[in-house]
Structure 1
Amino acid sequence: MDEVNAEAATAGLDWLSTAGPLLVWVIVLSFVFIECALIVGLFLPGDSLLFAAGVVLAQHDVEGQAWALSAVALATAIVGNQVGYYIGRQTGTRFVARRGGRVLNQQNLDRARAFLDHRGFLAIVAARWIPWIRTLAPLIAGAAGMNARRFLVATTVGAILWVPTLVLIGYYAAGLLSAIPWLGTILVWGAVAFLVLGTGYGVWRYRQDIRRPVDDEPEAAAT
């Protein structure tokens, strides 16, 4: 691991050492909650964030923290989806779709609703791996009146399969590449660049869509 740290420093990534794992925790937990609870999360790169977190923690050689972050981020994802579920139960999805929106549009909302209607419990589990459905699923489930306990079980199973998998793959992939410093450096650069650029692009896309007027087309009947 020392070889990867030395190579990272020479490549201009020594800021990772000064940033420290604490910053990784703050960013990951904040982003995971937002992506699972709020509409702006539609535009955040949640999958790449978790992978990048594992890669960055590998630079500090803190295996225990990688496992601990996996557990805490898992709980955060569950809580976030519960918040999204109750927002959907209280407000429905009528404020989500935007007229002419690239992502926040009635077509995507209907597609997500159809996915949940046809797959039910398994759709909530699988939604963890489908970026835009991951954020819409709790809202739609709440608006449709899905049984709260059933939703909690489904979203918990999904979180268990999603969060630790990506964080730990990132951590151990970076560790395995310590014998090939230049490849490890590329992995670090790629993970961080994708996270930063993906987040910036996502925020820009969100701002573009949210400025559009709400689509007043009646909601499709939830089953």
Structure 2
Amino acid sequence: METLGQLDPYLVGAVLLAVLALDGSLLIGVVLPGDAAIIVAGTALTGPSEVALVAVAGVVGCHLGATGGWLIGRRYGSLVRHSRAGRWIGEHRWARAERLATGEGSGPALAAAYFLPVVNALTPVLAGTLGMSYGRFIRWALAGSTVWVSAYLVLGSVAGEFVRNNEHLMVPVAGCVAVVVAGLIVISRRARANREMEISEPAGSRTPETASRPLQ
């Protein structure tokens, strides 16, 4: 944290700009989620002026990434989705991004998609593939990316400052966070397993005794 705090904010902004530009255009966000990059960048910032400077750079990077992804989708969208890399990403992720791009309220959904890791890297390509106009797409992309970058930079900056001033609390805090995360993972997996069981079980299945019993 001390090393990050000594970095030049202009350098932090330049690196973040490059990462977020690649995030949406070349699908780097599938491997390196932009959320993590923004939060790490935020830990290197120590004041509102530095946060504002890097936020501008981050939003410019998002604009470049969204534009590049839209152009790639416009020309090669279906090829990307059905390529080996597209299959590795997973059809369920493509489908989720497609629902955001085509469902009701697709504009606000595209803005909110920036807060969904991996999905936010796929939506620009899908927006171009599905023929969404660039003007409409980029307006919502800029709105969402501005809130996304600003919120996560502030979060990272606050967290970094807390760590630098309270190093003695890091072990117990990290332990508590690990327990909470582990609990959430277990709950999420159990809920997913229950949903899959409900889906796989025929809705109208009944035992022979139940099926032969007359309705009351």
CA distance in 2, matches of 1:35, 1:27: 12
What secondary structure sits across from 1:77 in the alignment? helix
Aligned length: 173
CA distance in 1, matches of 2:41, 2:129: 33
Amino acid at match of 2:71: Y
Match of 1:174 in 2: 160
> Greater Rg, structure 1 or structure 2?
2
Distance of aligned partners of 1:183 and 1:29 in 2 relative to their CA distance in 1, 3 Å threshold: farther
Distance of aligned partners of 1:39 and 1:100 in 2 relative to their CA distance in 1, 3 Å threshold: closer
- Compute the displacement of 1:186 (Å): 9.4
Match of 1:204 in 2: none
For residues 168-209 of structure 1, the C-alpha deviation after alignment (integer angstroms, 9 at most, x for no partner) is 12113333555424347999xxxxxxxxxxxxxxxxxxxxxx
Q: Residues 93 and 139 of structure 1 are in contact (CA less than 8 Å); yes or no, is this contact kept in structure 2? A: no
Distance of aligned partners of 1:22 and 1:144 in 2 relative to their CA distance in 1, 3 Å threshold: same
- Compute the displacement of 1:14 (Å): 5.1
1:150 pairs with 2:128: no
Distance of aligned partners of 1:161 and 1:19 in 2 relative to their CA distance in 1, 3 Å threshold: closer
**TM-score (normalised: structure 2):** 0.68
Select which of 58, 66, 75 maps to 1:81. 66
CA distance in 2, matches of 1:113, 1:43: 19
Identity of aligned residues (%): 25
Amino acid at match of 2:25: A
Match of 1:4 in 2: none
CA distance in 2, matches of 1:182, 1:163: 29
Select which of 50, 66, 72 maps to 2:57. 72
Q: How does 1:173-212 map to 2 (within 5 A)?
A: 173-176=159-162, 179-183=165-169
Amino acid at match of 1:40: I
Q: Residues 101 and 110 of structure 2 are in contact (CA less than 8 Å); yes or no, is this contact kept in structure 1? A: yes
1:138 pairs with 2:115: no
What secondary structure sits across from 1:174 in the alignment? helix
CA distance in 1, matches of 2:54, 2:98: 31
Q: Residues 39 and 135 of structure 1 are in contact (CA less than 8 Å); yes or no, is this contact kept in structure 2? A: yes
- Compute the displacement of 1:143 (Å): 0.9
CA distance in 1, matches of 2:57, 2:13: 9
Q: How does 1:1-223 map to 2 (within 5 A)?
A: 15-16=3-4, 19-58=7-46, 62-98=47-83, 103-119=88-104, 120-176=106-162, 179-183=165-169
**TM-score (normalised: structure 1):** 0.66
| Structure with more contact order per residue of length (Cα contacts < 8 Å, sep ≥ 6) | 1
Q: Residues 19 and 61 of structure 2 are in contact (CA less than 8 Å); yes or no, is this contact kept in structure 1? A: no
For residues 23-54 of structure 1, the C-alpha deviation after alignment (integer angstroms, 9 at most, x for no partner) is 42332111111112112331112112111111
